[in-house]
Structure 1
Amino acid sequence: MLGLIDCNNFYVSCERLFQPKLEGQAVVVLSSNDGCVIARSQEAKALGIPMGAPAFELRECFLKEKVEVLSSNFALYGDLSQRVVSVIEEFGYPVEVYSIDESFLSFPDMPPSELEKRAREIIARIRKWTGIPTAFGVSKTKTLAKAANRLAKKGDGVRLLLEESEIKAALSHFPVEEVWGIGKRWSLSLQEAGVRTAWQLREANEAWIRSHLNVQALKTALELKGVACIGKIRKEELPKTLLSSRSFGQPLSSLEELKEAIAHFTASAAEKLGRHRGCAGVIGLFVYSARQGHRSATLTLPCATAYPPTLIQAAYRCLDGIFSKGAVYKKAGIFLTEIVNEKTVQLDLLAPSDLSLKKEAFIRVMESINGTYGRRSVHFAAEGLAQKWRPRSERRSPSYTSKWEELPVCKNGG
């Protein structure tokens, strides 16, 4: 039996945890650089504010409806996500973390009444120990558990779909476009064929689904029948490409400031690459200015590497070939590709290698320090100090749980 715990309006719930005044208010959280809406409270959803909408298009709505607008605070969200998972793990059931706000649990066979009791105990403890509200859906497969979870959010927080009669009653009114794994394109095709509910998808001809959609859609239909087709969702161990890019908080025209941003993006990508124990054979860079549009360059490295100083120097060589004096740049980014496992790097006898013990030890020390004292506590001087290019986050709340200087302060009223 599988359960899915999903944090309710997670980013907004994290903000409300330390700002109780936001309870009952319409709240939205914006993406990096305060660009688009990436999270909404129920009150904001009721106002019809769409997910992904550009913030500048909604300014009048925000003012008129008195919507609280916040910049994203991913350090806070990540820390609270880990705390939620740690509470779930206290119960001893196998846990699969699916996303920052969702986790699957595997339950042994037990009576439905005991399952519901255990589910309510878990979400109650999460709320008590972390302050985050959650919903719990339980069923026979991951797709059914997802559906149960969605129904739990509309009810009292827990929903079990175990008996065939319960499943049929729920799926008969469950829109096909809300089924996990059915995207917008598939839902349009299904609706054109008269398949408008999850139950109709479950009962559709399997050969038709496979020929008109694909095997993944067939697996979804089988999951709705209670046939487990989706095993452990493994994140790709070695990515094919890594990208690090941002729109600048303010336009840049200086080569030195642009180099600082490029160094930061490259170091961030190298950090991700190191976590995968991979090495990149090709680095690419792109910049955007209103005058010239997008310009890009790539460079094949003599040996695949994950050593940040080598990658930063390679990014600089790419930048030298496309930088234009007088241009005003609004965005830049780098990408790493041709990624291989660090143990299978093909060495070049005529080129120096970055796979030395001293360089590896240097990177591991940086990882250890940043792991102990916070991400990017130690960084490369090439990334600069002022970092005028950093994205805007004018409405970001403090990092209440991860920075000493931003911890909540309790004052005695006397």
Structure 2
Amino acid sequence: MKKISSIQVLSIFFLSIGLLNHVILIPFLLSSGGRDAWFFSIVTVVTVPLWVYLLSRIIKNLNNESLATWLENRFGKPIKNVVLFFITIYLISLILATTKETMDWITTSFLFETPSLAIIIPFALLCIFLAHSGLRSIAISSSVLLPIVVILGIFVATGNIPTKDYSHLLPLFENGYFHGIKAFHFSSYGFAELILLAFFQEKFTDMLSRKGLAILCFGLLFLLLGPLTAAVAEFGPTLAEAMRYPAYEQWRLLTIGKYIEHTDFFSIYQWLAGAYIRVSLALFLITEVFQRKSNNMKLGILFGIGFLMVIITIVPFSNFKFLHFSQTYYYPGTFYFLLLLTAFLFIGTFIHSKEAKKHENETIQK
């Protein structure tokens, strides 16, 4: 079995959850918290030690055992099947939500007249190919894509410094001390999604340490705060809150000298790199749930989900209706699902496996 290093794991999650924190969640944070959103996002730093403890305990207890086997040894086959069913539904929803968000952004920002099928079919096929190639291919692709994404992020952040007015970040609590509290669970969503580490920890060459998990958490928080504070500083809280894609608008604001404008095409690379890895990882994890199935059946599952990706793109569901649905129902709902899943797996770490109990019984009999 080809395994990946902890450094490669970090690159995968910085791209996958990085897209979520850096782009997708920003309009939700601004609309729910306004100017106070950046403050309540910083407050989530107090939860980092808790997430690091929970994740490290769960990963350590899994002990290079697949999640399916671990669940069966502790809870039995029926509960294992129920848990894996809900995990699969969640992963499919993650794929469809990311695909819909990406395609809506493409068709409303720069490819207005291009048929959606001409965009989604190549994207779906590339994701299916990468997922079927295996986790190592996803890790290598992430390691190649991430450095350029980081360089472009530094470029837009520093290039827009002349247009930033950080006095827009204050005053806080104009509408009350708890007006922006709803932003807290959106800013915590990226941390909750780190439970995906438990789904494929048996494929790590080295155990992801608590220090590595802390670096990952702080890195994801930085990816959230960067574009969030920049949006308020550049556009003001009112205009930033009204924008559909604040992170993308920051690219449209960037100029190089007097004569070079329209640098926003760089954002295409950033967004598609994150979406590519995010969707491919979720597709791969779904095939891992069906690990005892044949290769042809796994391919069938991948193409079946690819078909759903095409359907979600061409269904006449407007961008703003999708925004409302995502903010009101989807992301809050999946956030609580991930919390429950994390709590369930954490409880499982206190339950002895059937094999351990069997070994204890044999020792007592001897």
TM-score normalised by the chain length of structure 2: 0.22
* Greater fraction helix: 2
TM-score normalised by the chain length of structure 1: 0.20
Question: Looking at CA atoms only, which structure, 1 or 2, has the larger radius of gyration?
Answer: 1
Which protein, 1 or 2, shows the higher relative CO under an 8 Å CA cutoff with sep ≥ 6?
A: 2
